[in-house]
Amino acid sequence: MNAKIIGTGWELPAYEADNDYLSTIMETSDEWITERTGIRKRHLAKEETTTSLAAGAAGKALKASGLKAEQIDLLIVATITSDTETPSTACRVQAELGAVNAVAFDINAACSGFLYAIHTADAFIKSGIYKNVLLVGAETLSKLVDWTDRSTCVLFGDGAGAAVLTAAEQGGVTAQAIGSDGSRWEVLSCMGRSNHNPICQEQAEAGFLQMNGQEVFKFAIKTVPQCIEEALKQAGISPEEVTCFLLHQANKRIIQSVAKRLKQPEDKFPMNIDQCANTSAASLPILLAQMDEQGRLHPGDRLVLSGFGAGLTWGACVLEW
Ligand code: UT7
């Protein structure tokens, strides 16, 4: 049995901050951000939370799938910005939806989180343990970025995307290539609380996201084409046979570089980075759900989903719509 997507949904916070607005609060410009990244604006959570965005997207995906909340066996939220350290965002989404029969937990694989979630769902579906799985990628990165560091804060946005997968004899996820390299964790990190037990002198302090942008850029343009090629090889198809490549929306120049490396036309690489910026684990499911809503996905289409992020982590999967 393969894991097949039968419903998608997305949700973005109401408030939008464009590049011109950011240029009024820090030394940056619309020209710099647009040229270097392709980002024009991002949605930032004012009233919304990771949980509310996740539940909103998940509810829409569930409705589109035609399943009832009680039919969901497994509910995974990919996030690095859970509202609570514990419980998981997944448990709170489960409560919001009334998915009373689901096993619920979060995955922390940063921007690769949704691919790790697909990987996990596929394994549970293939093994026959679970039939119906609800996956969500949800983030409020705006609470993690350092708003005094213009080289990172302009890149990120908040939002959530979701997909319901079910066991199917044909189509669905046909191949995956996924990996991690913990030895390079310092390239992109967010330090948690420091030790603050009674025998330590240190003060507890919250950390912000820190990134070596150029290292991440080099890692992405090398690793993403490699893992896509590996997944395509497993699926036994060529890049030419792929209908479209949905890549993590981190930087337009990274996506263009991957298209070039795969010798595929850029129009096979849909983007929403100009509207949403980098929403980390939410980026792929938001793009997928928006394309689904716009009627741009058709039965039999061959899609590649691929991403990369902190960890370092990466992944690609091939699926038939
Ligand atoms: O999900 C994974 C998350 N991370 C990523 O995907 C990041 C991957 N990396 C990137 O996308 C790019 O490396 C960045 C967009 C982060 C940076 O682009 P770049 O072309 O590598 O720029 P740079 O870091 O080499 O900086 C060039 C200049 C510097 O000024 P000087 O030293 O040349 O005078 C920066 O200080 O641009 C300056 N700069 C800015 N200027 C205006 C950096 N950020 C900004 C800014 N506005 N927001």
287, pLDDT greater than 70: yes
pLDDT tens, position by position, 243-285:
999 999 999 999 999 999 999 999 999 999 999 999 999 999 9
Residue of 217, 254, 271, 278 with the most ligand 1 atoms within 8 Å of its CB, for mutation? 217
Which among 260, 265, 272, 277 is positioned nearest to 224, based on CA atoms?
A: 260
Residues 6+ apart with CB under 8 A from 295: none
Beta strand residue intervals within 226-312, DSSP E: 244-247, 302-309
Q: What is the pLDDT of residues 93-137, one digit of tens each?
A: 999 999 999 999 999 999 999 999 999 999 999 999 999 999 999
Q: Which residue has the higher pLDDT, 3 or 203?
A: 3
Quote the pLDDT of residue 199: 79
Q: What is the residue with the minimal CA distance to atom 44 of ligand 1?
A: 151
Instruction: Measure 37 CA to ligand 1 centroid, in angstroms.
Output: 9
Percentage of the chain exceeding pLDDT 90: 94
Distance from CA of residue 253 to its chain's centroid? 18
Predicted local distance difference test score (pLDDT) of residue 8: 98
Binding-site residues, ligand 1, Cβ < 6 A: 28, 32-33, 36-37, 111, 150-151, 154, 211, 213-214, 216-217, 250-251, 278, 309
Task: Please compute the mean of the pLDDT values over residues 16-22 and round it to a whole number.
Answer: 97
CB 171 within 8 A of CB 321: yes
For residue 44 the two structure tokens come to 């930032």
Bridge partner list, 210:
189
The Å distance, Cα 158 to ligand 1 centre, comes to 20
The preferred substitution site among 25, 30, 145, 151 for testing ligand 1, maximizing ligand atoms within 8 Å of CB, is 151
Question: What is each CA distance from 258 to 144, 173, 315, in whole angstroms?
Answer: 28, 21, 14
Active site residues: 111, 248, 278
Locate tokens 């497994």: which residue?
A: 74
**Beta-strand pair 2-11/16-18:** unpaired
**Confidence grade of residue 163 (pLDDT, cut at 50, 70, 90):** very high
Give the CA distances from residue 261 to residues 225, 246, 264, 266, in Å, rounded to whole numbers and listed in that order: 7, 15, 8, 11
Q: Which atom of ligand 1 is nearest to the CA of 214?
A: 13
Q: What is the mean pLDDT of the chain?
A: 96
Ligand 1 atom nearest residue 150's Cα = 48
Q: Buried (b) or exposed (e) across 55-82, using 16+ Cβ within 10 A?
A: bbbbbbbbebbebebebbbbbbbbbbbb
DSSP secondary structure code for residue 67 in this structure: -
Q: Is 192 exposed, middle or buried (0-12, 13-18, 19+ CB in 10 A)?
A: exposed
The continuous run of DSSP H or E covering 133 comes out as strand 132-140
- Residue 115 near residue 285, CB atoms below 8 Å: no
CA of 274 from ligand 1 middle (Å) equals 16
pLDDT in tens, 179-236: 999 999 999 999 877 777 777 766 656 689 999 999 999 999 999 999 999 999 999 9
Amino acid at 303: L
Q: Is 203 in a helix, a strand, or coil?
A: coil
Q: Which residue, among 249, 272, 15, has the nearest Cα to 155 in the 3D structure?
A: 249
The token pair at 177 is 């290539």
Taking the centre of ligand 1 as the mean of its atom positions, its distance from the CA of residue 265, in whole angstroms, is 26
C-beta atoms surrounding 201 within 10 Å: 6
* pLDDT at position 202: 67
The label of the residue with tokens 């343009």 reads: 221
- pLDDT score recorded for residue 203: 62
Cα(212) to centroid(ligand 1), Å: 9
Please give the Cα distance from 297 to 69 (Å, whole number).
25
Element (H, E) at 19: helix 19-25
Who contacts 76 (Cβ-Cβ below 8 Å, separation ≥6)? 90, 104, 105, 106, 107, 117, 120, 121, 133, 134, 135, 136
Query: According to the model, what pLDDT value does residue 286 have?
Result: 98
